[in-house]
Amino acid sequence: MGKGNVRLRIQILAALVQNADFRGFFTGRINQGALKSVCVPGLNCYSCPGALGACPIGSLQAFLSSRPVRFPYYVVGLLLFFGALLGRAVCGFLCPFGLAQDLLHKLPFPRRKLGAFPGDRLLRKLKYAVLLVLVIGLPALVLDYVPAFCKYLCPAGTLGGGIPLVLLHGERLHLSVGGLFFWKLAAALVILLLSIVIFRPFCKYLCPLGALYGLTNPIALYRMHADAGRCTGCGACARACPMQVDPSKTPNSPECIRCGVCTRCCPAQALHLGIRSGAPERKEMKS
Amino acid sequence: MKKRGFTVLTLVLAAGLVITGLTQGQAREVLMKAVRVCLECIGIG
């Protein structure tokens, strides 16, 4: 089994485990178990009918938008914990919305797929603006009891919570569906359609959780190790990276989601992912 | 080695924050929020 397939299997398993209350998808009732007091590491809406845990970004905003504003020790602690252990490996392995984008990117597209948008470097900063403005600034300073990111942007909430609940609750929720719902639906559709052409556009440009975990990438326990002694500078890793990182130069870039594509394509086996820094034994290349 | 020390320090800080939050009943507040349908999250609030 290829290592890429291992990652896909872990992603599917993680998405299923985080949304394991399958009855909810038939009854339209969200889970009310005690596990919902624990934030999951990835972006997974707690209003998804199958969700067993709480969304960390939703929980963060709940504290910041309450009045008086209280510091969300518990949520920040959990985010730091996940970040220090895994960094953006959470994005690569555990996030259900990341999985949705990965699956869409596997679909065939009649034209050549794009690596990134024009203005990519600047656009990558957008996710930090989303974090600072929509997740922290507006809820804490301007909008009372309004989780601005969830309300105006989050496509995971629309996909996991909004669409299933509106479909399952029929008449009752149809009456409440208005411009905001259609705005969020359109945003989610655009992001999902773009995922076919560009690898993980939401993770690259908009995800506040990815922005947070990216900051912990350089210190995370699970990290990329680049052996400068083995690297021949061929550039194969940088050409193969779907997140447009050059792992030989910045192995722990905030953009790296630890998908491991570079480790598999390196002819000198100079890159490896793991906790220990020692490089694995060099394997014989197949002729 | 220096980075490993920083990782451990971050983990200790994270544990401290989680414990502080737990003593303030923040896990229960997360639960109360998460067991109700978040109308904003689903786009109708």
CATH number, position A269: 3.30.70.20
> Is there a single domain that holds both residue A87 and residue A195?
yes
Domain total of chain B: 1
Residue A287 within a domain: no
Confidence at residue A4, expressed as pLDDT on a 0 to 100 scale? 65
Helix, strand, or coil (residue A28) = coil
As a whole number of angstroms, the distance between CA A32 and CA A51 comes to: 9
> Is there a single domain that holds both residue A180 and residue A234?
no
Cβ–Cβ under 8 Å, residues B19 and A126: no
pLDDT digits (tens, 9 = 90+) for A34-76: 999 999 999 999 999 999 999 999 999 999 999 999 999 999 9
Q: Which domain holds residue A56?
A: 3-216
Q: Of A166, A194, A216, which closes a domain? A: A216
Chain B CA closest to residue A53: B34
> Is there a single domain that holds both residue A14 and residue A150?
yes
Q: Of A216, A248, A266, which closes a domain? A: A216
pLDDT digits (tens, 9 = 90+) for A99-108: 999 999 999 9
> Is there a single domain that holds both residue A98 and residue A51?
yes
* Nearest beta carbon to residue A30 from set B30, B37, B44: B37
Question: Is the bond into A242 cis (omega within 30 degrees of 0)?
Answer: no
Using a CB-CB cut-off of 8 Å, the residues of chain A touching B41 are: 45-47, 55, 58, 147, 150-151, 154, 157, 161-162
> Is there a single domain that holds both residue A183 and residue A141?
yes
Distance from CA of A285 to the nearest CA of B (A): 32
Confidence at residue A168, expressed as pLDDT on a 0 to 100 scale? 87
Sign of CA dihedral A169, A173, A175, A180: negative
Domain total of chain A: 2
* Confidence check: pLDDT of A130 > 90: yes
> Is there a single domain that holds both residue A53 and residue A75?
yes
B12-31 burial, b if ≥16 CB within 10 A, otherwise e? eebeebbeebeeeebbebbb
Chain B CA closest to residue A187: B43
> Is there a single domain that holds both residue A257 and residue A182?
no
